[in-house]
Structure 1
Amino acid sequence: MAAIHELSAVLSNQIAAGEVIERPASVVKELVENAIDAGSHEIDIIVDEAGLKSIEVIDDGSGIEGDQLELAFHRHATSKIVDRRDLFKVHSLGFRGEALPSIASIADVEMVTSTGGEGQAIHISGGKVISQKPSEARRGTDITVKDLFYNVPARLKYMKSLNTELSKIVDIVNRLALGHPQIQISLTHNNRELMRTAGRGDLRQVIGSIYGMNKAGKMLSIENSDADFKVSGYVSLPELTRASRNYMTILLNGRYIKNYQLTKAIIEGYGSKLMVGRYPVAVVNLEMDPLLVDVNVHPTKQEVRISKEAQLGEMISATIRERLSQQNLIPDGLTNLRRGQVDPKQVAQNLAAVSTTRGPRTISQSTTQSAAPHAESTAQHKQTEASGALFDQKPSDGTDKPIVIHSKDELNSPAVSAFEEKYQQPQTPFNEPVPGTTASATSKQKPQETELIDSQDRFPNLVYIGQFHGTYLLAQSDEGLYILDQHAAQERVNYEYYREAIGEVSDDQQRLLVPIVLDYSTSDMLKITDKLATLAAVGLHLEQFGPNSFILRQHPTWFKAGQEADTVKEMIDWVLRDGHLTVAQFREKTAIMMSCKRAIKANHHLDDQQAKALIEHLKTAENPFNCPHGRPVLIHFTDTDMEKMFKRIQESHRSLRSEA
């Protein structure tokens, strides 16, 4: 065993830096927290090359006395606690005394500070003091960190792209700004200002600066208190949701924290008002006696222990639940109408081109494209979101455009009758008329007289019987009874279509008459910018349109008409939710997402023709037995199984014994 020795101050600080300073965003967090603790009213953050080149934080706080300047860079040197009792009533954000020495040990640091009189400047590189001298300075502190990790190159290997690192910085600054709306905070990157808050103490105004004023307008204020806790802040209307929990900010006495139970409590406050897989935007500020919280759990101080956590969680849920119960939660219908609005003259021309005469004909691709928007606008008016589109399937005429059949209520519209023809005419494979009969005669055959012919030996030859509770399809074959989950079956059919459509990206693009403009926060914008190549690989070509917006001028032809904007947003949500997706994984997840959202839902009644069409398309699937999520599509009861359930086998044996 080697001799025991004491680590040098520089080496111990570099080890501490491994816990405290993970990336440039960690430096920004520690320096801004120090500026907040110094009583600053204005804080300017200036970074170059996502902070890897330089980070500068300028504040107008109390500053540091000249004779204490070098001491501030000693490990565990702090002005925020004096004895053990102070640990149980921590009011400041930073108090452990590890940040400055850790940063100085792995970077080149210059600080100029003043308490109002003559200032002092200090230069430290790699943990060693290079110089210290008097300097002219206004009241406050100006600290610059350059060449981060220059002497620990192994840490640089774990850095992500510049946009990813910058998005981490933006996220940290956003959380700090939300926790301190009374402080004016600005962030500048490569001479471009990314965000600035007014510092007027208005939390809604800060939310608007970060997420946009239109989203801030859909936030509801919350407030509640008891003997131990005070809850305040803003939560979004159920119509304003995101695909991840990252938009929920929990602030404890001004400190941003991560707490799974409290995050869960926010979601539970919405109950069933949130769609599955969607999460609200929320800024929840908690105030409590410091004696009820232990913030000395982790060096980053984001994980804390809270006394009476269950009581606090219930209070948060009840507060949100009560606030939502007072609110009219009906979405703005005008916004939805505008989203699907089309030119009435163009619709009239399109419908005139579509003959409603019942006779053998083929619908051209251009007609399909023009009629679909009208059918979609009708669907949005007559269908609830739960019902979904009935079918997204490939037409039999060789085109790659999906044919869309909507609910029964829509089948009387001229636009949809054109689609209906596809399934009543001879060119439809499974409705092919018997020689010597007409198409209309074929369509009037009884269900039990029309057997769905199987083209694959592994899938049974099914004869459709009927539908059960608008959710399951019943069919039979020589092998027994089959029950199909219509949603899972539609998911499988859709999934294989979208997997092929997304995987075989071509130059086939549909030009939009009115481009789609997408607005995002600065943090999200940076993440999306970093994934533009991934999005382009699936046919989604975004162009930057202003500081925090993208514009989409065209989209892949496999997009469902009338749902282009929603589809784009859903695809981008996948990128924001999991930035590590490869192109192949992104295509797979997008196909799964599209197949589920475009599938028929439970309690949706199909007529015999639609049910048969679904079974026919299912039998041609590569894997007709499971949906993309792994759930079974159909289950099987043999004749023997039925006889056992009804005790017919037992009765048969008794009969044989009695006859004997």
Structure 2
Amino acid sequence: MAIIKRLDEHLTNMIAAGEVVERPMGVVKELVENAIDAHATYITIRITQGGIESIEVEDNGVGMDSADALLAFERHSTSKIASQSDLFALHSLGFRGEALPSIASVSKTTLTTSDGNESTFVQIDYGTRTMVRPHACARGTTLRVENLFRKTPARLKHLKTAQYEGSLIIDLIEKFALCYPEVAFKLISDEKTILETSGNGQLIDCIARTLSNPVARLAREFSAADYDFTIEGALILPSESRSNNKGIFIFINHRIIRSWQIQKAILEAYRPFLSPDRFPILVMHIRMDSSLVDVNVHPSKWEIRLSKEQQLYFLIVDQLSAYLRSYMAAPAIKLTQTQERVVQDPLFSVDHPDLYPQNPVNYEVREEKIEARDTDLPDQESQNANVFPHLEVLSQLHGRYILASASDGLYIVDQHAAKERVNYEKFQDLLLHENASVQTLTVPILIETKASVIARFDELQTLLKKLEIHLEQLSGNSLLVRSLPIWLHDVDETAFLKDLIDSFESQRTITLEKVRQDALASLACHASVRFNQALTRQEMANILVELSRCRQPFNCPHGRPTFLKISSEQLLKEFGR
């Protein structure tokens, strides 16, 4: 008796749906890609309850005749490729012929389409065609998906809240808009317009509409090429950065992709301009011959394989670094008349040579001795005495590290990480042991954020209210903060709140405890001395004393080490003694 059986088409479509359609966002991605492949210049996306209840994508593309409308729901039916050679020379987003039959197998799907000559309406209920008829409509295609996963409760159960699923769709459409600035996108969620772009082809305008006007004002366009690759897009000046990598957008041949290697190259280019715990905001379009990229890696089409990846890496690092250096060059100082009156004294003249020395800073080790110890140590510092045995400040290296000596060797202390640890524990004690006094701000703080954050505003507002941070939603993607806890007075409140919102955005689900931890880590970071900040010898000594008193002095809140020890034995060995 035969044991192996051929699966019927409906079952194979449902299996394929497990890879192609993981959640409502996956449905939207496939339908929007189909619209773009149909040369649409205007695409409207409507979702209800985060896409769980319904998704509708309408476009003004080329449309289909009745024969193609029916064939589109047959598995492995596609207009994108016809031979093996086409698979390695793809110019379209879709090519598998799996998306529509997979979606139709797990939902109630209706298709209305016209190629300008013939109009067709097709209805499919969970894999079964129930209606086909002529239907008058304008040229283009409208696909509506309802009750997704209703007949597969295990899949439905694992979806998150409607707010969260909706935020993923918003985030996806923002990526499509940045990838295709020449296409006008409109996203409507629960009858409310969330996002709308003009389709005028201007990337900076698209950045303003998706990432906010303040980000767009800091955007600078770039373009470079070598024999195989062309890179272009817009970089955001390092004065605006994020606490995670959600602001890095990478597109290859007009395809949204994820690539750690390309992201690594971008981070390397930004490294001299950002502290290690910050991430840049950047939109990068990469063009190459389709033979150099393999997109047939996974049905979701997020992952790719690249040929000549190292060549592309160095092109990005070299050219992006050059653009950043040129944009970050100090502008010429122009004195106003008021300023000129202030500097009449020759001592303060801009021509005074002593005020503007041209020689590099010399980090000289002086003979004065400052010890980073007290004679009367608290208990915690006594426990850490073996970690910091009588440290003596030597100097500061590159404005980043404190060099200190001890009887057992040389200590190199990361000044930012060390101060982060000190501040983290200080704010932790304030948060846990002091009453949460609230201060009303004289000037409320206005924060421009993304539509995907606004979609989860109720969740964000509830969590931050427990930290005595009170948010209000204004029109568009604007948030207003009128009051803050008193323990925030020593930091840049706006930067701190942006980081906290970044952290919230990157979490699928988030608890109050997680918000507290992220708030403390961000707070400690913003209150700390920075890289490339000159310190006096006494300031360096104070940092060492404070670090020695910490409960956990070895790492900053983000996990990076606070110091490196080179033992006396290791030094003797290295010098052959």
Superposition TM-score tier, normalisation by shorter sequence? 0.7 to 0.9
1:516 alignment partner in structure 2:
445
Contact 1:112 1:135 in 2 (8 A): yes
Residues 454 and 284 (structure 1), Cα distance of their counterparts in 2 relative to 1, 3 Å cut: closer
CA distance in 1, matches of 2:550, 2:458: 36
1:494 alignment partner in structure 2: 423
The yes-or-no answer on 1:467 pairing with 2:393 is yes
State the AA in 1 paired with 2:449.
Answer: Y
Change (3 A) 1:542 1:120: same
Report if the CA contact (8 A) 2:490-2:527 is conserved.
no
Matched ranges for 1:238-277 at <5 A = 238-277=238-277
Q: Shift of the alpha carbon at 1:232?
A: 1.7
- Cα deviation for residue 276 of structure 1 reads 1.4
The answer to whether the 8 A contact 1:627-1:633 is kept is no
| Kept in 1: contact 2:208–2:216 (CA 8 A) | yes
What's 1:572 paired with? 501
Residue 175 and residue 567 in structure 1: after superposition, are their counterparts in 2 closer, same or farther (change >3 A)? closer
CA contact (8 A) 1:455 1:619 kept: no
Match of 2:280 in 1: 280
Shift of 1:613: 9.4
> In 2, Cα distance between the equivalents of 1:199 and 1:179?
11
Cα 1:598–1:71 change in 2 (3 A) is: same
What CA deviation, in whole Å up to 9, does each residue of 1:224-261 have, x standing for no partner? 22332222211111222222222222222211111111
Q: Does 89-98 or 298-307 show the bigger shift?
A: 298-307
Deviates more, 1:171-180 or 1:102-111: 171-180
Residues of 1 paired with 2:142 and 2:384: CA distance? Answer: 73
Report the counterpart of residue 27 of structure 1 in structure 2. Answer: 27
Q: Tell me: CA distance 1:511–1:77, structure 2 relative to 1, closer, same or farther (3 Å).
A: same
Partner of 1:299: 299
Partner of 1:97: 97
CA distance in 2, matches of 1:77, 1:246: 35
Structure-2 residue corresponding to 1:106:
106
Q: Which amino acid aligns with 1:544?
A: Q
Alpha-carbon distance in 2 for matches of 1:230, 1:252: 10
Match of residue 530 from structure 1: 459
C-alpha separation in 2, matches of 1:636 and 1:207: 47
Q: How does 1:626-641 map to 2 (within 5 A)?
A: 628=557, 629=559, 631=561
Maintained 8 Å contact 1:454/1:460: no
State the shift of 1:582 in Å: 2.7
**Structure 2: distance between partners of 1:163 and 1:216:** 26
**Partners of 2:474 and 2:461 in 1: CA distance:** 14
2:376 partner letter: I
Q: Output one character per residue of 1:267-290: Cα deviation in whole Å (capped at 9) or x when no partner.
A: 223341222122222221122222
Distance (whole Å) between structure 1 residues aligned to residue 141 and residue 62 of structure 2: 8
> What is the match of residue 375 of structure 2?
452
State the SS of the aligned residue for 2:13: helix
**Aligned to 1:240, what secondary structure does the other structure show?**
coil
Aligned match of 1:46: 46
Indicate the SS of the match to 1:69: helix
Tell me how far 1:127 sits from its aligned partner. 0.3
Equivalent in the alignment of 2:513:
584
Larger Rg, first or second structure (1 or 2): 1
Aligned to 1:514, the other structure's residue is in SS state strand
What amino acid maps onto 1:242 in structure 2? R
Task: Compute the displacement of 1:459 (Å).
Answer: 5.6
Q: Could you tell me whether the CA contact under 8 Å between 1:45 and 1:187 is conserved in 2?
A: yes
CA distance in 2, matches of 1:154, 1:332: 64
2:555, 2:261 → 1: CA distance? 34
The amino acid of 2:450's aligned partner reads S
- TM-aligned CA deviation for residue 612 of structure 1: 6.7
- Cα separation, partners in 2 of 1:324 and 1:156, compared to 1, 3 Å: same
Question: Alpha-carbon deviations, 1:487-546, whole Å to 9, x = none?
Answer: 466444422221122345744101110000111121233355433332223222211122
Instruction: Provide the rounded CA distance (Å) in 2 between the counterparts of 1:505 and 1:70.
Output: 67
Corresponding residue for residue 172 of structure 1 = 172
CA pair 568-33 structure 1, distance change in 2 beyond 3 A: same
- 1:308-387 aligned at under 5 Å gives the runs 308-330=308-330
Partner of residue 604, structure 1: 535
Q: RMSD of aligned C-alpha atoms?
A: 3.4
- Matched with 2:224 is 224
Alpha-carbon shift at residue 21 of structure 1 (Å): 0.4
Structure 2: how far apart are the matches of 1:635 and 1:35? 59
AA matched with 1:326: S
Q: What's the CA shift string for 1:40-62, capped at 9, x where partnerless?
A: 12111111111111111111111
Percent identity, aligned pairs only? 35
Structure 2 distance, partners of 1:611, 1:73, is: 71
Q: Give the SS at the match of 1:241.
A: coil
Go from structure 1 to structure 2 and tell me whether the alpha carbon gap of 1:539 and 1:474 turns closer, same or farther (over 3 Å shift): farther
Please give the alpha-carbon distance, in whole angstroms, between the structure 2 residues aligned to 1:458 and 1:512: 41
Partner in structure 2 of residue 561 of structure 1: 490
SS of residue matched to 1:5? coil
**Partner SS, residue 72 of structure 2:** helix
Alpha-carbon separation, structure 1, partners of 2:566 and 2:256: 53
Deviation at 1:126, TM superposition (A): 0.6
Q: What SS class does the counterpart of residue 440 from structure 2 fall into?
A: strand
Secondary structure of the corresponding residue to residue 201 of structure 2 = coil
Task: Label 1:527 to 1:268 Cα distance change in 2 as closer, same or farther (>3 A).
Answer: farther
Per the alignment, residue 206 of structure 1 pairs with 206
- Name the amino acid aligned to 1:535: L
Corresponding residue SS for 2:134 = strand
Asked if 1:192 corresponds to 2:118, the answer is no
Q: Distance in 2 between matches of 1:322 and 1:620?
A: 43
Question: Within 2, Cα distance between the matches of 1:216 and 1:503?
Answer: 39
Question: Which letter does structure 2 place at the counterpart of 1:467?
Answer: V
Superposition deviation, residue 177 in structure 1: 1.7
Structure 2: where are the runs of 5+ without partners?
335-368, 397-401
Give, in angstroms, the shift of residue 557 of structure 1: 0.9
**Greater relative contact order: 1 or 2 (C-alpha under 8 angstroms, separation 6 or more)?**
2
The 1:587–1:252 alpha-carbon spacing in structure 2 relative to 1, beyond 3 Å, is same
| Corresponding residue for residue 361 of structure 2 | none
Distance 1:502 1:2, change over 3 A: farther
**Which deviates more from structure 2 when the two are superposed, residues 484-493 or residues 164-173?**
484-493
526-535 vs 551-560, greater mean Cα deviation: 526-535
- Distance in 2, matches of 1:509 and 1:74, equals 61
Q: CA distance change for structure 1 residues 109 and 473 in 2, over 3 Å: closer, same or farther? A: same
| Structure 2 SS opposite 1:531 | helix
Deviation at 1:465, TM superposition (A): 7.9
Q: Deviations over 1:429-473 (max 9, x none)?
A: xxxxxxxxxxxxxxxxx989x962234364659997853214256
SS in structure 1 at match of 2:327:
coil
Deviates more, 1:307-316 or 1:76-85: 307-316
Deviation at 1:96, TM superposition (A): 0.6
Q: Which moved more, 1:58-67 or 1:591-600?
A: 591-600
Matching of residue 141 in structure 1 with residue 141 in structure 2:
yes
Partner of 1:86: 86
The equivalent of 2:7 in structure 1 is 7
